[in-house]
Amino acid sequence: MSDRSFTYIGTRPIRHDGVDKVTGRASYGADLSMPGMLQGVVLRSPHAHARIVSIDTSEAEAMPGVKAIVTGKDFPVTRAKLPLGEAALDIHDISENAIARTKVLYDGHTVAAVAATTVEAAQAAAARIKVVYEPLPPVMSIDRAIAADAPILHEDMTTKGVPGSKAPTNVAARMEVKRGDLEKGFAEADIVLEREFRTVMVHQGYIEPHACVARFGEDGRAIVWCSTQGPFAVRDQCAAILGIDAALVKVIPSEICGGFGGKIVVYLEPLAMALARKAQRPVKMVMGRDEVFRASGPTSGTKIRMKLGAKRDGTLVAASASLYYEAGAYRGSPAGAGMMCLLAPYRVANFLVEAFDVVVNKPRVAAYRAPGSPMAAFAIESVIDDVARELRMDPIDFRLKNAMQEGDQTAYGPAYGPIGLKTLLEQARRHPHWSAPLGPNQGRGFACGFWFNGGMNSSATVTLNMDGSAAVVTGNPDIGGTRAAQALMVAEELGIAVERVRPIVGDTDISGMTDLTGGSRVCFATGMAVIEAARDVRSQLIAKAAKIWNVDPAAVTWEAGKAIPPPGTDKAQPLSVAEIAARFAHTGGPIIGRASLYAPMAGPGFGGHICDLEVDRETGVSKVVRYTAFQDVGKAVHPSYVEGQIQGGVVQGIGWALNEEYIYDANGILQNASFLDYRMPVASDLPMIEAVIVEVANPLHPYGVRGVGEVPIVPPLAAVANAMRAATGVRFTVLPLSPPRVLAALTTETRETVTA
């Protein structure tokens, strides 16, 4: 597979949807308008934690232009669980998160929704809804949530994974992975370091807010147009929340301007559907930016205790960690994924890693690009760096000595197949960046990162047109260039120009069932389905060519986009795709290739990042001045978009490390719910980011592909923190490294570790 030569795979054609996007013709979630359409708005809780005593909508319902109002009582109670994406979602929790019934659990929690003839009329009516609250003490941190006297968010919650757990608690689950003899391992160590690390909630920061339009027909069928990472996920969630048959719901995905995991769970869609059903008119809903921050899922804040033991020669012998992840108001943090990723790059004979899923009075968390892994990497890669420093070893050499390789068993179970971790570490060590001189007040850091990469369900249909061009239909919204990748795969298999392949994102009625765009699964898993469907087309072309030549199809070969007759076939010449399609255009029936599959495993992905950071010691302001990211991608189908994915992940990780954070007041009210106050990096904050593509073929994919999009956000938190340690001599264990935090550390007495 790694020796295979490609014609189209690995080239850089212009993306098929590019012109529509740069000229403004592409249709996003908020662009749709329909005759008779109403505008929907949400009334949100002003409290972080409170009982709902009563809701009176009578005055609002009487206002001009108001056509429908819904509250929690308009939705059935369900206990269903749906296998959506990387984990099962508890529909009861998703439903309660979409609209509160008896309690509000975070600032911005929905309590009612209004549909009216104008946005202004809907907003005025929402303001007239009378809600009586009984405020309760908010639980705003992990430490408070796990305290013995903590207010309880859910009276029926016990700790899953703890035998005999019966008392109400804010700890939803405990998980662990372990191996060897931990006590013996630490006894054998010549050096043992232990640190506690903390990160805060951060948001994915997608530019497009949540938006949808819902319509109910007289036949009881609903259609939803929305910005989503998974139309089938929206269909199944909405049907369960409204208590209707999923066969009655059709979801049409719009173009999507960013998601990063944040557009999997539904927020507005079931509300718009309920309003549309009640009003019998289409309803459009669009979140304001403050609503996106207050009420859609960020990722977890964390508290991680990390302990490592190593021998004098640099061999890691023991590791223990306790990972606490904020789930927000409802269970379901990525603590388990963080636990599984923590030790993924390194061989450690003796370890115990435990993870806790903790509810707090903040928005229910959502996936964010390698959910759970960046925080775990921040902890272990910081301690790895400190151990290497204590042993006076080069940080990359130390990692190379302990790096996982093919055949090694992961902490979470299976053994690795071919992986590129050592290859990329060796390339990083040889790269000019690693040995380049640094300027005043600058430091250099290195860190590794890991993500599993997903498989799951995928379907694809490839249709051949009469002129030899093709269309490929899948159910995956295109976030990172997957249309171009799928077109390249069809072109490769059929031997036709990639410009003659039309990739189409289908809705839930016209595409086969396909899991969401997430987990770095699309190019891998849906790509496998596309390849199989294209090969189905090719087999049919071969059969038709064999019919023309009156030979056995098994004797026909395929080369460079042409059917080749067997030697000695009288007067037979090779036939191209277009020639075969034209010959049978009106007599042989259409040629349609189909494939559906479940990809149970994917190619594990690793990255290694070098970061140069400069600190202004008078202000505490820091900036990244050089950054190089190495990543094993298996095979780069479209290298430009692979590089773009790597660079985008790095940018998000830099923002997370340096400035981004949710800031709450003592009452649990979010204080920075805007792009003005939530400090994301912009182009002027960043250097050029060099992406170095490493290709160690993944044997589980026909082309050797591994997922790309998750891995690059994992190393930056630690790479930036390690660069800060090198630049200042201070080990920061709390993110972000904002100017006030850095300045406070630089103006206090010198110390190795700063925890606030």
Task: Give me the CATH number covering residue 84.
Answer: 3.90.1170.50
Tell me, yes or no, whether 383 and 461 share the same domain: no
Predicted pLDDT at 571: 80
Q: What is the mean pLDDT of the chain?
A: 96
DSSP string computed for 470-513? EEEEES---SSSHHHHHHHHHHHHHT--GGGEEEEE--TTTS--
What is the pTM assigned to this prediction? 0.97
If asked whether residues 246 and 112 sit together in one domain, one would say yes
- Evaluate whether residue 565 is within a structural domain: yes
Same domain? For 224 and 110 the reply is yes
Q: Specify whether 586 is located in the same domain as 656.
A: no
In this prediction, residue 3 carries a pLDDT of: 66
Percentage of the chain modeled with pLDDT above 90: 94
Domain at 403, CATH number = 3.30.365.10
| Cα radius of gyration rounded to whole Å, the chain | 27
Q: With respect to residue 63, please indicate whether it lies within any of the assigned structural domains.
A: yes
pLDDT band at 275 (very low <50, low <70, confident <90, very high): very high
| DSSP SS3 for 81 | strand
Alpha-carbon distance 495 to 502, whole Å? 14
Measured between alpha carbons, how far is 539 from 530 in angstroms, rounded to an integer? 14
Give me the number of domains the chain comprises: 3
Reported confidence tier of residue 753, pLDDT bands at 50, 70, 90 = low
Q: How confident is the model at residue 87 (pLDDT cuts 50, 70, 90)?
A: low
Q: Label residue 601 by pLDDT band (50, 70, 90).
A: confident
* Range in 329-333, 532-536, 601-605 with the lowest mean pLDDT: 601-605
CB 84 within 8 A of CB 264: yes
Q: How far apart are CA 505 and CA 489, in angstroms?
A: 15
Average pLDDT over residues 90-119: 97
Residue 652 lies in a domain: yes
Does residue 2 form part of some domain? no
Distance, in Å, from the CA atom of 442 to the CA atom of 613, rounded to the nearest integer, reads 5
In this structure, the answer to whether residues 689 and 718 fall within a common structural domain is yes
**pLDDT, tens digit, for every residue of 438-481?**
999 999 999 999 999 989 999 999 999 999 999 999 999 999 89
| pLDDT on residue 129 | 98
Which H or E run includes 598? strand 591-599
pLDDT > 60? residue 755: no
> Which residues form the domain of 496?
18-25+455-599
Question: Within this chain, do residues 251 and 270 fall inside the same structural domain, yes or no?
Answer: yes
Residue 189 domain flag: no
Q: Are residues 508 and 633 in the same domain?
A: no
pLDDT tier at 88, thresholds 50, 70, 90: low
Q: Is 270 among the domain residues?
A: yes
Could you tell me the pLDDT band of residue 568, with boundaries at 50, 70 and 90?
confident
**Structure confidence by residue, pLDDT tens digits, 403-435:** 999 999 999 999 999 999 999 999 999 999 999
Please check whether residues 508 and 610 belong to one and the same domain: no
- Report whether 365 contacts 181 (CB < 8 A): no
Compute the distance between CA of residue 456 and CA of residue 179 in angstroms, rounded to an integer.
28
pLDDT at 614: 98
Q: What is the mean pLDDT of residues 627-654?
A: 98
- For the chain, what percent of residues have pLDDT higher than 70? 98
CA dist 154 and 140 (Å) reads 15
Question: What digits encode the pLDDT tens for the residues 186-208?
Answer: 999 999 999 999 999 999 999 99
Q: Which of 241, 271, 295 is the last residue of a domain?
A: 295
- Residue by residue, DSSP assigns 636-698 as -SSHHHHHHHHHHHHHHHHHHHHT----B-TTS-BS--STTTS----GGG---EEEEEE----
In a domain, 146, yes or no: no
**756 pLDDT above the threshold of 60:** no
pLDDT of residue 586: 80
- 98's CB contacts (< 8 A; 6+ apart) are 75, 110, 241, 266, 267, 270, 271
562, 580, 599 — which closes off a domain? Answer: 599
Say if residues 382 and 735 touch (Cβ distance below 8 Å). Answer: no
Lowest mean pLDDT among 81-90, 109-118, 135-144: 81-90
Query: pLDDT band for position 78 (50/70/90)?
Result: confident
Three-point CA angle 634, 639, 643, nearest 5°: 95
347 or 587, higher pLDDT: 347
Both 669 and 722 in one domain: the answer is yes
Q: Taking 60 as the threshold, does the pLDDT of residue 326 lie above it?
A: yes
Q: Give the whole-angstrom CA distance, residue 474 versus residue 523.
A: 11
Is the domain of 480 the same as that of 557?
Answer: yes
717 falls in which pLDDT band (50, 70, 90)?
Answer: very high
Phi, psi of 354 (to 5 degrees): -120, 150
Q: In terms of domains, do 626 and 682 share one?
A: yes
Tell which of 599, 632, 648 closes a domain: 599
3-state DSSP assignment of residue 549: helix
459 with 446, same domain: the answer is no
Q: What's the confidence (pLDDT) of residue 235? A: 97
The whole-number pLDDT of residue 570 equals 83
Residue 66 lies in a domain: yes
pLDDT at 94 over 90: yes
- Give the pLDDT mean for 566-573: 88
**C-alpha span between 711 and 452 (Å, rounded):** 9
Mean pLDDT on 5-27: 95
**Quick check: 749 pLDDT over 80?**
no
Q: Residue 754 — pLDDT band, cuts 50, 70, 90? A: low
